[in-house]
Amino acid sequence: MAAVAVVNQTVNNTSPVLQIMSHDTIFNKIQEVLPDCIAADEVKPFLEIFDAKVSEPIKLYVETAVRYYVMQSLSNGNDTDLSKIMAVAKLSTALTRKDVCLPTLPMLVLSDAFDSMTVQQCERLFSFVESNVAVWKEPLFFTPCKNQVLRMCNDVLRRLSRSQNTIFCGRILLFLARFFPFSERSGLNLISEFNLENITTYTSSEVEDGMEVTQGKEEGGDDEVKEISAEKEDSPVKDSKPALDHTLYTKFWALQDFFRNPIQCYQDAPWQMFTTYTNDVLEAFSSFKLEGDNSVAATADKAPQFYTDITVEMQNHDDTIVDALPDVKKIDQYFAKFLTNQRLLELQFSDSNFRRYVLVQLLILCNYLTAVIRFKLETLEEIEKCWVHSTELKVFSLMKETPPDGEQFVEIVKKILRRENLWNDWKNNGCPEIKKPVIHPLVTSNGTVNGKLEGEGAEEEKSSIAKRGKKRKLGDLVREADSRNKFVMANPEMTRLWNICPDNVQATQQKKRNFIPSLEDYFMRAIDQIHSTEEIPTADKLVNDGNFGWRGLRILACRSPHFFTHSTAPIATLPEYLTTMIKKLAKDLPAVQLKLQQQAAAAATKAKQTAKAESKPAAEEEMETQADEAAAVCEPVEDEVEEEDTTEHVELNPITEQQQEALAANIAKNDKYKILTKKLGFKDDEVDYILEQKTGNVQQCIAHFLKLWVENEGDEANQDSITYILEGLKMPEAATGVFE
């Protein structure tokens, strides 16, 4: 496969023995010495194959030979010898340190072994991977192997069942957490995504009496049931408990959807549902009191067989789950998926561990809703935050009342939530690298160094300080400054100036750097000219000034949404466009509206006073005319284009609803209605959606979009505009008889 010439071109200054060795020669020799190396647990026989430095192609030959030996000689189904595979992995690690093979060889050997073994064998072999995590984290292995490690673990996880192999899945995730540093972005979930596929299903119809669950499937909603002769037991304790009916059952399991996707709590309707269901469930928990360890034993007689077996096992164990809870029984109390059959609800309410699962879920959700998270755009209102706070207090109170060791359990949960907030703050700050603080020696004025006098080791302390006082490398200074979100520049003064505001984006947003005038300040004179009752020469109007128009367009692009509003009406000249935009601005600016109203009121008052002073009827009529014209100024809803001295003014109004219906009836007869809607500024998917909502009625669909067009464009959606568009689409007959 590899000729002598290829090896000679790749490796220089090699011995004659290495130069004449081909792939087949190396492959056969490795197959011969590998059993001896495994038995003796040493690499010397392997190294004797080569007499000089191993080149990159030879390392690939070594990798191929070792992987072939593992797959052909060691992987043998259920009879696979795991100890030999571990020995080969150790041997590969040693060969990597001797620079005989590539650093990825140990992980490739383990990955091949995992692919060819059963889940039980993989679980035993993974113990070897866990015990050597310090080796995989060495610089020699970490960088080349990290992607291979992640791929290997993901391949194993895909083969596992989260309900049957829960512990093994957790071991793999813990190993990845130990292997990768905190700053590894792939494991941080920076944008706060949720596992929306974790859906909890439950029955929507009420379970009849006389049915009992025998075995719960993994999905939790399709439980196998069988008929039994059930007898209801009446007791004083049961009479004091709330009725666990189908309504409470539905509300209880509906909360799991909010735990799965908390974002929906920021919507009004889901928030009302969430608060109602939570209050009802907490009220049920408060009424359904637990009686210490006897609560489970009291219901064990009525429980199915699998629940009875768990209860018996719980009574036979005295070990602890955690050191902080010495009285909790150590049994397998974790279930990857809830059992949601309605007949189990009373047993679940009687189980203190199950109650704690749900209450902790609720606390995690409440903590998320009120936490400050960088990528969370929604926030709660004050009244909603008060409800969350009161709910947290209720949950903590219920936890304290839940045996055993309720108060100790509450303290542990609070500590976990505080740590969660610390992690949120760390992510909000960009996940800076976590380092141990540097402790500098204390040198006092009396000559002591770290508390030591002269002659008591102070000289050694001073010498170490002198060594540390040498000029540091620029890379170290930059790295340290970056960890504190600072910058290191060419000299101290530039560093000081640059770090006044290290965030350049924030610096550009300071008020003192905002040189763009507001819309009111820039366009106020032009608005006064447009609404003025006096005649202003055309040359003196600001809208006719080219410099004013160019700056006005720049300011509109920065500050006004009207600049980006799509319009089907053609723009003739810049002064006309500015006049239209200024009139639209006058509607949106309260200060301008108030000023125009005051001017109009003053003009009307003056006109009335002048009319009373004049005694001639002609003069009175003239004054009333002036008052009416002044009153019309305060109504900025009219979006008229100022007429030129030599141009006849024609008032254009938007098309009416009757005209819209008539147009829709005519346009529906033509197949080009989708092209028309596109000209009006609507997309094809919007047209298809509205057409589906109108059950395929094209006329109603076109009428709907014509109405939206008039609402968006205002006076510009007039007869001339729609006629111009129809003529461009060669549909002039659609307007026939509509505007007569």
Instruction: Please indicate, yes or no, if residue 175 is contained in any of the structural domains.
Output: yes
Instruction: Give the DSSP letter of residue 588.
Output: H
pLDDT at 643 over 50: no
pLDDT-derived band at 510 (thresholds 50, 70, 90) equals confident
Q: Residue 719's domain is classified under what CATH number?
A: 1.10.533.10
- What one-letter code names the amino acid at 446? N
Instruction: Please indicate, yes or no, if residue 234 is contained in any of the structural domains.
Output: no
Residues 542 and 487 both lie in one domain:
no
pLDDT-derived band at 19 (thresholds 50, 70, 90) equals very low
- Counting the structural domains of the chain, the total is 5
Residues 594 and 722 both lie in one domain:
no
| pLDDT value of residue 135 | 93
DSSP H or E stretch at residue 602: helix 590-613
For the stretch 201-252, pLDDT in tens is: 888 776 554 444 333 333 344 443 333 333 334 444 444 466 788 999 999 9
Instruction: Give the DSSP letter of residue 570.
Output: P
Cα 430 from Cα 183, distance rounded (Å): 9
In angstroms and rounded to an integer, the radius of gyration of the C-alpha atoms of the chain is: 40
The residues facing 452 across adjacent strands are 449
Residues 52 and 179 both lie in one domain:
yes
Residues 109 and 159 both lie in one domain:
yes
Q: Tokens 């009992």 — which residue?
A: 212
Residues 28 and 170 both lie in one domain:
yes
For the stretch 454-466, pLDDT in tens is: 444 545 555 555 5
Instruction: Please indicate, yes or no, if residue 192 is contained in any of the structural domains.
Output: no
**602 or 272: which carries more pLDDT confidence?**
272
Residues 27 and 162 both lie in one domain:
yes
Residues 393 and 493 both lie in one domain:
no
Q: Angle at the Cα of 326 (from 324 to 328), degrees rounded to 5? A: 105
* Backbone phi and psi for residue 469, each to the nearest 5 degrees, phi listed first: -80, 0
Contacts of 516 (CB under 8 A, 6+ apart): 555, 558, 559
Q: Tokens 């009207």 — which residue?
A: 562
pLDDT at 75 over 60: yes
Residues 394 and 278 both lie in one domain:
yes
For the stretch 399-412, pLDDT in tens is: 999 999 999 999 99
For the stretch 417-451, pLDDT in tens is: 999 999 888 888 888 877 777 665 555 555 554 44
What is the percentage of the chain residues whose pLDDT exceeds 90? 26
Cα 297 from Cα 312, distance rounded (Å): 9
| pLDDT value of residue 220 | 40
- What one-letter code names the amino acid at 594? L
What's the whole-number average pLDDT of the chain?
76
- Of 563, 580, 605, the last residue of a domain is 605
**Domain enclosing residue 591, as ranges:** 519-605
For the stretch 143-159, pLDDT in tens is: 999 999 999 999 999 99
Instruction: Please indicate, yes or no, if residue 613 is contained in any of the structural domains.
Output: no
User: Average pLDDT in the 617-622 region?
Assistant: 54
**533 or 336: which carries more pLDDT confidence?**
533
Structure tokens at 687: 């047209």
The residues facing 449 across adjacent strands are 443, 452
| pLDDT value of residue 446 | 52
Instruction: Please indicate, yes or no, if residue 444 is contained in any of the structural domains.
Output: no
**Peptide bond between residue 617 and the one before it cis (omega within 30 degrees of 0):** no
N residues, the chain: 740
| Cβ atoms 203, 341 nearer than 8 A | yes
Residues 273 and 364 both lie in one domain:
yes
Instruction: Please indicate, yes or no, if residue 443 is contained in any of the structural domains.
Output: no
Structure tokens at 8: 């000679």
pLDDT at 343 over 70: yes
pLDDT at 415 over 90: yes
pLDDT-derived band at 7 (thresholds 50, 70, 90) equals very low
Instruction: Please indicate, yes or no, if residue 740 is contained in any of the structural domains.
Output: no
List the one residue out of 261, 259, 273, 263 whose CA is nearest residue 378: 263
pLDDT at 494 over 50: yes
pLDDT-derived band at 734 (thresholds 50, 70, 90) equals confident
**Which range among 48-57, 130-139, 540-549, 675-684 has the greatest average pLDDT?**
130-139
Residues 544 and 508 both lie in one domain:
no
Contacts of 430 (CB under 8 A, 6+ apart): none
| pLDDT value of residue 138 | 92
Q: How many CB atoms lie within 10 A of CB 627?
A: 19
List the one residue out of 92, 159, 90, 88 whose CA is nearest residue 122: 159
User: Average pLDDT in the 89-103 region?
Assistant: 91
Structure tokens at 464: 């170490």
Instruction: Please indicate, yes or no, if residue 727 is contained in any of the structural domains.
Output: yes
Cα 12 from Cα 1, distance rounded (Å): 20
Cα 222 from Cα 215, distance rounded (Å): 10
DSSP H or E stretch at residue 66: helix 56-69
Residues 581 and 505 both lie in one domain:
no
Q: Out of 36-45, 128-137, 449-458, which region has the weakest mean confidence (pLDDT)? A: 449-458
* Backbone phi and psi for residue 265, each to the nearest 5 degrees, phi listed first: -70, -15
Residues 23 and 169 both lie in one domain:
yes
* Backbone phi and psi for residue 443, each to the nearest 5 degrees, phi listed first: -110, 115
Model pTM above 0.95: no
